Structure 1
């Protein structure tokens, strides 16, 4: 399998696409073609990691990483992914709980897969520098996966004042080779800074830069796996194509759903659920794509006004990218969390609540024509400051998230300026690191 840029040029091997992160000239790498499958190709007895190996093999065929694929899948797909019914009175809605991994978010799959793949390729004396722009969850997953590895250096860039208290702790509590930078700007400023670093040929070459965001195709591909697995389970039990509802900000998760359907997995309608950031919803209504500054919302990991994966979406054929887009504001997020807890006792995080709200807005006939799978993307404890006042009770973190709270945090302040980032990556940050401890 070869990979090409959304902006043209020569095809490259998967390993080269992964090393580069983004494609030259600001494009993104995509597969030359998507492999075609049928539901019957996959045994019902496959574990999630076994399905991952079989599904991802065509994407890795002939690549230097192909021999490592079983180990990468076993390491990334090693925790349960329950498909639950949040409200027994509404059995057509299922929650795919993707938050039972080490950092409590769906990013634990693709990000851990990518970090391990990079570590396999790098030499101890010539590590990659992995840049991560994060609005909350990607950075925590990447940092947890990177701690203690010798083949990479990890730089996490997150927006000041735009992540929850727990998210900030989780971003800043890891040891070498992880460094956390709090950027004086929003997520789009962080993402622009990362893209600018890749476009600087000297900086990119000097530090062997790559990215752990979903602009990196090896971060995105594993996300197809659990969506395909859930769809197969529902289709086998019902014989009806399930719908997918994907809360999405940067469009990587939504694109994974569209890729899964285009490959031939049994998936019906796809709905992308966004927060109050208007860019994707406007495009779906008018056909115009107009990036803009992001708006701060309760679902902060989706506060993105310029979704970087749009180029990949735009490259798909019209039938492949057919989807609905539902925009959900903060008031609706609060109402959905409060009402669903009162009705059934189920607790959504703000991002997952957007998916639940999108389901409720479907016409009744559409809601009942098939089973709908909505991605529950993060553990509600990560947003306890938002969720607990709405439900009137304490949320318990579980062992993995509880352990994070006992760790010492370290961060550096950073202006959204490429020169400042270059100095920081060279070990000469303009401002000293701050250290804090949270009980």
Structure 2
């Protein structure tokens, strides 16, 4: 499989190049040249299959031309050593709990999968490790919260790879912060005096800097990397399998609601839809960072500085994967902006919520059902409450364990929620971070000394 750039000005790339480089030479995001549909037999059998087997079939459609079957199966099975159950919250509304991985956030699957894929390529092509600098692949990742912890823990101790996590100072939860600042080893946390968009800009600028790229091999583990965002499609196939087995025959039509920040998660779901996933429509639930919501209403994409909110992992003012969504529904630029907008809005609706509306959703859900939402999942829950139509069944993604936002959740709900042992272990570590301005030259000089 070859991969092209959303900007259309870079040469085609192999999967290995797309994963190792992360971003194309023209600053575009890599896209697979085609999306392979899955068979009718697969969808018929899916409700009776294990999560790992479902994921292997999806991964084979994405990556089977470039990774041999046994290695790909090992990669998938090593990644997926946990379940992501569906739980009924109220009539016709279900939660897809994506927080049962090592860092209790949905990004664990993509981060673990990418770490193992990089290891596969470096083991099978040793020159990839030896052509620059000190022989390391250096992973740069910007995080507004959960990405940093998932990537840091997914790559922790992986030979030949060093990870730099850039995060906005004072704008991630204390528990999120300790999950990537206390690890040491091959993980370096960089505390940027700015917002998430500044962190993301530093990462993208590093990829485009010729001198820096001659000095060291760089890649990204944000959802701009195909090996990070595509595996998240596994969740949606597994969700359909679970809901079908629970409600078989599934006569109602399925609506999938995804809390969205950088739009990698919902983008993977849309790729799944292109492969035949039987979902009627999607809802992208935003916090006060309403850039995509406004695009749906107006057809105009106007990025702007991100706002700090209660649902901090979604504080993104210029979502990278918007480019992939446009590319997907414009058929790589063949359709006009108006036609593309019409195709997107026929499948995806939006929602945007203030902090007060998020708090209201959390309180109402807990009072009515006893289910504890985190602020991000609350956006998805409220969107289904408001937009679900008669005869539809809605599934929203609960993207992180509420204990990751304990201080906020306790205050809003008047609880003292228990912190899982895995999170408690992180909190015992000593913080190790490097303070950095949002000026690219400062970041560049730091990396040049590495």
State the TM-score, normalized to the length of structure 1: 0.92
Q: Which residue of 2 aligns with 1:435?
A: none
Larger mean Cα displacement after TM superposition, 63-72 or 324-333: 63-72
Cα distance in 2 for partners of 1:427, 1:382 equals 34
- Of the three residues 369, 377, 380, the one matched with 2:399 is 377
Q: Which residue of 1 aligns with 2:334?
A: none
Question: How much does 1:251 deviate?
Answer: 0.8
Work out whether residues 257 and 284 of structure 2, in 8 Å CA contact, stay in contact via their aligned partners in 1.
yes
Return 5+ residue gaps in structure 2 as ranges.
330-339
- Of the three residues 294, 302, 305, the one matched with 1:282 is 294
- Of the three residues 324, 338, 350, the one matched with 1:312 is 324
Work out whether residues 23 and 30 of structure 2, in 8 Å CA contact, stay in contact via their aligned partners in 1.
yes
Work out whether residues 152 and 163 of structure 2, in 8 Å CA contact, stay in contact via their aligned partners in 1.
yes
Equivalences for residues 231-242 of structure 1 within 5 A: 231-235=240-244, 237=248, 238-242=250-254
Q: Which residue of 2 aligns with 1:192?
A: 201
Cα distance in 1 for partners of 2:220, 2:162 equals 11
Equivalences for residues 141-290 of structure 1 within 5 A: 141-235=150-244, 237=248, 238-290=250-302
Q: Which residue of 2 aligns with 1:415?
A: 437
**2:384 corresponds to 1:362:** no
1:141-160 CA deviation, whole Å, 9 max, x = no partner?
11111221212000000001
Cα distance in 2 for partners of 1:295, 1:6 equals 27
Cα distance in 2 for partners of 1:46, 1:408 equals 42
Question: How much does 1:186 deviate?
Answer: 0.2
1:131-188 CA deviation, whole Å, 9 max, x = no partner?
0000000110111112212120000000011111111111201121000000011000
Residue 427 to residue 118, structure 1, CA distance change in 2 (3 Å):
same
**2:305 corresponds to 1:293:** yes
Larger mean Cα displacement after TM superposition, 211-220 or 44-53: 44-53
SS of corresponding position for 1:305:
coil
Q: Which residue of 2 aligns with 1:54?
A: 57
Equivalences for residues 40-189 of structure 1 within 5 A: 40-42=41-43, 43=45, 44-64=47-67, 67-86=70-89, 90-122=90-122, 126-189=135-198
Larger mean Cα displacement after TM superposition, 180-189 or 220-229: 220-229
Q: Which residue of 2 aligns with 1:347?
A: 372
Cα distance in 2 for partners of 1:106, 1:251 equals 13
SS of corresponding position for 2:48:
coil
Work out whether residues 253 and 391 of structure 2, in 8 Å CA contact, stay in contact via their aligned partners in 1.
no
Question: How much does 1:206 deviate?
Answer: 2.2
Return 5+ residue gaps in structure 1 as ranges.
429-439
Question: How much does 1:423 deviate?
Answer: 2.6
SS of corresponding position for 1:24:
coil
Work out whether residues 221 and 256 of structure 1, in 8 Å CA contact, stay in contact via their aligned partners in 2.
yes
Work out whether residues 180 and 187 of structure 2, in 8 Å CA contact, stay in contact via their aligned partners in 1.
no
Question: How much does 1:399 deviate?
Answer: 2.1
Question: How much does 1:120 deviate?
Answer: 2.6
SS of corresponding position for 1:195:
helix
Residue 63 to residue 206, structure 1, CA distance change in 2 (3 Å):
farther
Cα distance in 2 for partners of 1:362, 1:52 equals 30
**2:359 corresponds to 1:334:** yes
Residue 320 to residue 287, structure 1, CA distance change in 2 (3 Å):
closer
Q: Which residue of 2 aligns with 1:434?
A: none
Question: How much does 1:66 deviate?
Answer: 5.8
**2:17 corresponds to 1:16:** yes
Work out whether residues 175 and 423 of structure 2, in 8 Å CA contact, stay in contact via their aligned partners in 1.
no
Work out whether residues 65 and 117 of structure 1, in 8 Å CA contact, stay in contact via their aligned partners in 2.
no
Larger mean Cα displacement after TM superposition, 202-211 or 288-297: 202-211
State the TM-score, normalized to the length of structure 2: 0.90
Larger mean Cα displacement after TM superposition, 179-188 or 5-14: 5-14
- Of the three residues 382, 387, 397, the one matched with 2:409 is 387
Residue 68 to residue 421, structure 1, CA distance change in 2 (3 Å):
farther
